[in-house]
Amino acid sequence: MIAVFFMKRDTQTIEKQENSVGLVETKYYTFAEPPDRLKLISGKELGPITLAYETYGTLNKDRSNAILILHALSGSAHAAGCHSPQDRHPGWWDNYIGPGKAFDTKRYFVICSNVIGGCSGSTGPSSINPETGKPYALDFPVITIQDMVNAQYHLIKHLGIDCLLAVTGGSMGGMQALAWSISYPQMVKSVIAIATSALLSAQGIAFNEVGRQAIINDPNWKSGNYYGSWPPDSGLSLARMIGHITYLSEKHMHMKFGRRFQNPEFNSADFRTEFMVESYLHYQGVKFVTRFDANSYLYITKAIDFFDLETEYGGSLMKAFEKVRSNFLIISFTSDWLYPSAMSKDIVRALRRNGKNVIYTDIETDLGHDAFLIENPVLERNISNFLKSEFEKIGLP
Amino acid sequence: MIAVFFMKRDTQTIEKQENSVGLVETKYYTFAEPPDRLKLISGKELGPITLAYETYGTLNKDRSNAILILHALSGSAHAAGCHSPQDRHPGWWDNYIGPGKAFDTKRYFVICSNVIGGCSGSTGPSSINPETGKPYALDFPVITIQDMVNAQYHLIKHLGIDCLLAVTGGSMGGMQALAWSISYPQMVKSVIAIATSALLSAQGIAFNEVGRQAIINDPNWKSGNYYGSWPPDSGLSLARMIGHITYLSEKHMHMKFGRRFQNPEFNSADFRTEFMVESYLHYQGVKFVTRFDANSYLYITKAIDFFDLETEYGGSLMKAFEKVRSNFLIISFTSDWLYPSAMSKDIVRALRRNGKNVIYTDIETDLGHDAFLIENPVLERNISNFLKSEFEKIGLP
């Protein structure tokens, strides 16, 4: 009975809410026209390539109102709305995408693109390798954030868009947005980079590595060749648990769980007793393995580790941003310790030294890194105002 | 040749250094006189019990110069000096124990006691269960910080000491020191609690849980029954890697490793390439499994998780410290995010509200939680001055 109630309520939410994009579907673009293969940064080639994406709103006549949204490590193309009336969970950025929301679908044509290397409809290690007829597994070439962006370029061109009003994302999505502005300066009017960095910290690499190690240690991983057999669920689940600790702030974790027990009857010092925070992490881990591929986790975290605009441009972040043409909105969160505010400030400094237009906001919150996913009127207002001003700059009402 | 050189150099270090305690040996005390069994907080009984310990310096005639040192999660009774001239690594707190050092062995009789539940000579899950003739494994009863302290009480009595000049430790050692002052107020003249807390944070529990999960996920763990077969090394190693991330500050990790590669020749985005920070964590993990037991890791982290003086005393930390008689030196480190300074301040506040004598120092350092193990003149001076003043209070020269 409870399940039915929830289903009903959620259906109502999506169908009736005025600021929802409603029912949506994921689309797939397979590079058809040459080049149907992508030359990767490593020098290797990958193809054929499919990218999963979703769109919300309508592209205007002069194709000037398109916004590209890019997701974080565990995200997908499904950023807003629901896939069916039964769908209990709307897309990952539904708080910010919809009629009247920050990414106002009455004004903008919003595209969310998945990444290559992923497992949510785009070509990745679980895709079939045309040379063998079997999943790539570890034969999938190592990919970088730049490779993800270069693949998205083809999707944007395919959609008939020559210039994006904005490219945006949080965390790894922010890294892609920065890479977009550098690689395709003429195509990016503005960038909204949230809770991100121009390079991953040593601590960030360390956390990614222990997550990968959890997967590799799982005997079901079988050097990546687990497709068709039981996948390394416990390893991937543990990787996700580790990740989730870093997505919350210590203070938020304290307020959310404290030292409360999951089952107040089990409150003695033994191995059965579970604190709420343990139960939460286990739940996050178990939920994750139903929708994510362990090899994708390895490839994508490696791409994040190797992202380093500073080193790529001869040790100078200023040089990295020399040729960008975009206006920037950089947003960090005071309690984000995975991508601390100082890292956003480094980006802001490098941009300003280049004379670029930058608005920077450090949003006060206890929610940690995950703050960019959660409803927040300050974040909403910042994005909304920035986009309106960009929209007006190009002479649109 | 290099190995010989190192051996020679280290031998010289120990034999010649004037402020070293030199060669030491671990001693073992098995509760002989009744009670030869320990009633645990859980209500269960454990016995026979052996505690490993070391001593440095000489007990004075009126037995008033004894200091009890308690170790952290992965520590042992071997706190100072070397076990043999070939020993390359002195005890874990050798920086602070020795003639003329903070714990001056010319003045004080220093005892370092191991904990029950451990695997370094004291009764723990890898010990033989007298009822089965086999290692306890998970039949070992769950133990608490209080149980560790209650076992140490018998050791101190056995050594003929009625009153300790000081009880001290960092991290879990600090928890034990606090518990000592509360449980045996008449036996503890003073407490030096470093980088510790009166209860573990939700984030601390979370990190311990992912470490435990890494062990439990290892198929070699076999529900704890791995004695006599290959132990769950990869799980324990991963648990240690996760732990090590939390022992360093983000800044220290950045300064120590940054984004440098382990092998500069492998610097391309692939799975072979390793960042220095990854290599460091792997090394720490691999080193740890040679000296630690996975089941002990489970039991000891659970003991840490369950430590909560506030809840134990009806939700009031002030009430917890009501009956203590000790003077306190509480020390935290500004960059310690596992046991943040705020947690030390909570202890200080509760003690002061009880009118107790407390000196509190928040030491400025980038070294994170592990700062208490590393040479630091400010820490040295704080301990040294505090102890001298305690020593003078009882009328000793």
Give the span between the Cα atoms of A69 and B228, in whole angstroms: 55
Which of B41 and A13 is assigned the larger pLDDT? Answer: B41
pLDDT of residue A205: 97
Number of helices (H), then strands (E), belonging to chain B: the values are 12, 14
Tokens in use for B48?
């026979």
CA-nearest residue of chain B to A240? B210
> Measured between CB atoms, does B207 come within 8 Å of chain A?
yes
Active site annotation includes B154: no
DSSP-assigned beta bridge partners for residue B46:
B38
Residue B48: asked if its preceding bond is cis (omega within 30°), the reply is yes
Put simply, the answer to whether B241 touches A275 (Cβ < 8 Å) is no
Q: Which of A208, A276, A281, A210 is nearest to A244 (CA)?
A: A281
Q: Which residues of A touch B302 (CB under 8 A)?
A: 269, 271
Which of A176 and B274 is assigned the larger pLDDT? Answer: A176
> Measured between CB atoms, does A315 come within 8 Å of chain B?
no
Q: Which residues of B99-117 are buried (b: 16+ CB within 10 A; e: fewer)?
A: bebbbbbebbbbbbbbbbb
> Measured between CB atoms, does B241 come within 8 Å of chain A?
yes
> Measured between CB atoms, does A253 come within 8 Å of chain B?
yes
Q: What is the DSSP letter of B269?
A: S
- The answer to whether residues B64 and B188 touch, using CB atoms and an 8 Å cutoff, is no
pLDDT of residue B33: 65
Phi, psi of A55 (to 5 degrees): -135, 150
CA distance, residue A152 to nearest chain B CA (Å): 20
- Average pLDDT, stretch A377-381? 98
pLDDT tens, position by position, B260-315: 999 877 666 667 779 999 999 999 999 999 999 999 999 999 999 999 999 999 99
Q: Which residues of B touch A308 (CB under 8 A)?
A: 259
DSSP-assigned beta bridge partners for residue B166:
B67
Query: Sign (positive/negative) of CA torsion A50, A55, A61, A62?
Result: negative
Alpha carbon A222 to its chain centroid, in Å, reads 28
Give the span between the Cα atoms of B239 and B167, in whole angstroms: 29
CA-nearest residue of chain B to A337? B250
* Residue indicated by tokens 């092998």: B263
Which position among B336, B341, B344, B370 bears the catalytic label?
B336
> Measured between CB atoms, does A236 come within 8 Å of chain B?
no
What's at A286, amino acid-wise?
V
* Residue indicated by tokens 């920086």: B95
- Average pLDDT, stretch A280-287? 96
pTM of the model: 0.94
Residue A48: asked if its preceding bond is cis (omega within 30°), the reply is yes
- Average pLDDT, stretch A343-370? 98
What is Dmax (Cα atoms) for chain B? 67
> Measured between CB atoms, does B42 come within 8 Å of chain A?
yes
- Average pLDDT, stretch B58-65? 96
Interhelix angle for A294-306 vs A145-158, to 10°? 100
Instruction: Give the CATH number of domain A2-201+312-393; options: 3.40.50.1820, 1.10.1740.10, 3.90.600.10, 3.40.50.300.
Output: 3.40.50.1820
> Measured between CB atoms, does A256 come within 8 Å of chain B?
yes
Q: Which of A203, A258, A308 has the CB atom closest to B245's CB atom? A: A203
User: What's the pLDDT band for A34 if we cut at 50, 70, 90?
Assistant: low
- Average pLDDT, stretch B9-32? 76
Put simply, the answer to whether A269 touches B235 (Cβ < 8 Å) is no
Q: Which residues of A touch B278 (CB under 8 A)?
A: 205-206, 209
User: What's the pLDDT band for A9 if we cut at 50, 70, 90?
Assistant: very low
Q: What angle do CA A144, A238, A279 make, to 5 degrees?
A: 135
Put simply, the answer to whether A235 touches B254 (Cβ < 8 Å) is no
Give the span between the Cα atoms of B385 and A216, in whole angstroms: 50
Q: Which of A97, A146, A93, A170 is nearest to A344 (CA)?
A: A170
Residue A35: asked if its preceding bond is cis (omega within 30°), the reply is yes
- Best mutation target among A222, A259, A273, A335 (most B Cβ atoms within 10 Å) is A259
Q: Is pLDDT of B12 > 80?
A: no
pLDDT of residue B88: 86
Q: Is pLDDT of B207 > 70?
A: yes
- Average pLDDT, stretch A98-109? 97
Tokens in use for A330?
């950089």
Domain boundaries, chain A: 2-201+312-393, 202-306
- Alpha carbon distances (Å) from A150 to A183, A193, A308, A377: 8, 18, 16, 33
Q: Is pLDDT of B3 > 80?
A: no
Which position among B64, B122, B126, B171 bears the catalytic label?
B171
CA-nearest residue of chain B to A281? B206
Q: Which of residues 337-396 of A touch B (CB under 8 A)?
A: 337, 340
CA distance, residue B232 to nearest chain A CA (Å): 10
Helix (H) or strand (E) holding B243, with range, is: helix B233-247
DSSP track, A308-340: BHHHHTTT-HHHHTTT---EEEEEEETT-SSS-
Give the span between the Cα atoms of A316 and A321, in whole angstroms: 9
- Best mutation target among B116, B215, B250, B343 (most A Cβ atoms within 10 Å) is B250
Q: Which residues of A touch B214 (CB under 8 A)?
A: 214, 217, 238
Q: What angle do CA A293, A296, A302 make, to 5 degrees?
A: 145
Q: Which of A42, A206, A218 has the CB atom closest to B281's CB atom? A: A206
Put simply, the answer to whether B219 touches A219 (Cβ < 8 Å) is yes
CA-nearest residue of chain B to A285? B210
- Average pLDDT, stretch A348-361? 98
Contacts of A363 (CB under 8 A, 6+ apart): A331, A332, A333, A334, A371, A376, A378, A379, A382
Q: Which residues of B touch A302 (CB under 8 A)?
A: 269, 271
pLDDT of residue A151: 97
> Measured between CB atoms, does A247 come within 8 Å of chain B?
no
pLDDT of residue B266: 67
CA-nearest residue of chain B to A254? B202
Strand B27-30 and strand A358-363: the pairing is: unpaired
> Measured between CB atoms, does A311 come within 8 Å of chain B?
yes
- The answer to whether residues A59 and A116 touch, using CB atoms and an 8 Å cutoff, is no
Phi, psi of B28 (to 5 degrees): -130, 130
Put simply, the answer to whether A258 touches B202 (Cβ < 8 Å) is yes
pLDDT of residue A36: 79
> Measured between CB atoms, does B137 come within 8 Å of chain A?
no
- The answer to whether residues B41 and B142 touch, using CB atoms and an 8 Å cutoff, is no
Q: What angle do CA A9, A10, A15 make, to 5 degrees?
A: 100
> Measured between CB atoms, does A330 come within 8 Å of chain B?
no
pLDDT tens, position by position, A110-135: 999 999 999 999 999 999 999 999 99
CA distance, residue B253 to nearest chain A CA (Å): 6
The rounded mean pLDDT for chain B is 93
Put simply, the answer to whether B250 touches A209 (Cβ < 8 Å) is no
pLDDT of residue A4: 31
- Best mutation target among A46, A200, A238, A286 (most B Cβ atoms within 10 Å) is A238
Put simply, the answer to whether B278 touches A206 (Cβ < 8 Å) is yes
Q: Which of A23, A179, A156, A169 is nearest to A96 (CA)?
A: A169
> Measured between CB atoms, does A258 come within 8 Å of chain B?
yes
Put simply, the answer to whether A210 touches B254 (Cβ < 8 Å) is no
Q: Which fold has domain A202-306?
A: Rna Polymerase Sigma Factor; Chain: A (1.10.1740)
Tokens in use for A74?
């565990």
- Average pLDDT, stretch A167-188? 98
Put simply, the answer to whether A302 touches B271 (Cβ < 8 Å) is yes
Q: Which of B69, B115, B126, B74 is nearest to B94 (CA)?
A: B69
Put simply, the answer to whether A144 touches B254 (Cβ < 8 Å) is no
Give the span between the Cα atoms of B301 and A142, in whole angstroms: 37
Alpha helices (H) along A290-340 = 294-306, 309-312, 317-320
Put simply, the answer to whether A269 touches B42 (Cβ < 8 Å) is yes
pLDDT of residue A397: 67
Which position among B244, B249, B369, B370 bears the catalytic label?
B369
Contacts of B263 (CB under 8 A, 6+ apart): B273, B274
User: What's the pLDDT band for A35 if we cut at 50, 70, 90?
Assistant: low
pLDDT of residue A263: 85
- The answer to whether residues B327 and B357 touch, using CB atoms and an 8 Å cutoff, is yes
Mean pLDDT is lowest, of A78-92, A104-118, B29-43, for B29-43
pLDDT tens, position by position, A179-205: 999 999 999 999 999 999 999 999 999
pLDDT of residue B263: 85
Interhelix angle for B172-183 vs B145-158, to 10°? 70
Give the span between the Cα atoms of A168 and A70, in whole angstroms: 6
pLDDT tens, position by position, B235-260: 999 999 999 999 999 999 999 999 99
Task: Please give the class, per CATH, of domain B27-74+92-393.
Answer: alpha beta
Catalytically active residues of A are 171, 336, 369
Q: Which of residues 284-303 of A touch B (CB under 8 A)?
A: 298, 302-303
Q: Which of residues 1-20 of A touch B (CB under 8 A)?
A: none
3-state SS assignment for residue B12: helix
Tokens in use for A263?
């089952």
User: What's the pLDDT band for B141 if we cut at 50, 70, 90?
Assistant: very high
Q: Is pLDDT of A2 > 50?
A: no
- Average pLDDT, stretch B64-85? 97
Q: Which of A182, A163, A165 is nearest to A174 (CA)?
A: A182
pLDDT tens, position by position, A63-72: 999 999 999 9
Q: Do domains A2-201+312-393 and A202-306 have the same CATH topology?
A: no
Q: Which of B206, B214, B281 has the CB atom closest to A277's CB atom? A: B206
Q: Which of B42, B235, B308 has the CB atom closest to A270's CB atom? A: B42
pLDDT tens, position by position, B88-116: 899 999 999 999 999 999 999 999 999 99
Q: Which of B201, B213, B254 has the CB atom closest to A202's CB atom? A: B254
Put simply, the answer to whether A278 touches B209 (Cβ < 8 Å) is yes
Q: Which of B142, B219, B298 has the CB atom closest to A269's CB atom? A: B142
pLDDT of residue B397: 67
What's at B210, amino acid-wise?
V
